A and B are shown apart, each in its own frame.
Chain A
């Protein structure tokens, strides 16, 4: 069974960079059938897609976050990462990593448990 686990600091200071890693187990990140994605959820709010990355490094980012987001893949360790620059209180959220099925129909089939990141001043 595929498992995804987010890791990283739970507290980030205002204007600094949020960095999270998602470690994949039970399957290979280099599978051609999937993208790997980040989704976040602010307290009491809905889900917001941040971006997806393919193992080759191809990325798709939410236009509203594109100027601050970088995603990368570490194939040797079967994991992928998120960097979000210049954070503000609005970036406080639970961040989830998930697997996106590449061909139609499109969907996220496996999710990590999520990690809360709080932006503080």
Chain B
């Protein structure tokens, strides 16, 4: 079972803002990273560290963290942002790696 919990699904109107959360005790110690996965494709890193975007990721994607919760915010969601999103970090022991349960984002 995953030590990182995400809401299964969220929806957002085109051009509006959506926040996806990831909860877990290890997030008090380690930053989460976030991945976007579209159907039939490999995951793509969108946010890592405190709030860093890899080259090519639009600035409408941002990350934040507070206590045991990490968040990914999409400001001004676009149709192409419709995808599954996974958080990722180390587990509470610090020895292993865990993924969140995943959130399906629907852009209406």
Contact = CB atoms under 8 A, between A and B. Distances in A.
Interface residues of B, number: 28
B102 A46 contact: yes
A62 B91 CA distance: 11
A96 B98 contact: no
B84 to A, nearest CB: 8
Interface of A: 37, 39, 46-49, 52, 60, 62-63, 96, 100-101, 104-109, 111-114
A108 B45 contact: yes
A46 B101 contact: yes
A20 to B, nearest CB: 15
B6 to A, nearest CB: 9
B33 interface: yes
A60 B97 CA distance: 9
Name the residue in A60, A62, A108 with the highest tally of chain B Cβ atoms < 10 Å from its Cβ. Answer: A108
Contacts of A46: 2, 86, 99-102
Interface string B75-108: 0000000000010111000011111111000000
B33 A106 contact: yes
Contacts of B95: 60
Given A46-B86, A47-B86, A112 B42 contact: yes
B96 A49 contact: yes
Contacts of B101: 46
A35 to B, nearest CB: 9
Nearest to A101: B48
B9 interface: no
Interface in B37-51: 37, 41-45, 48-50
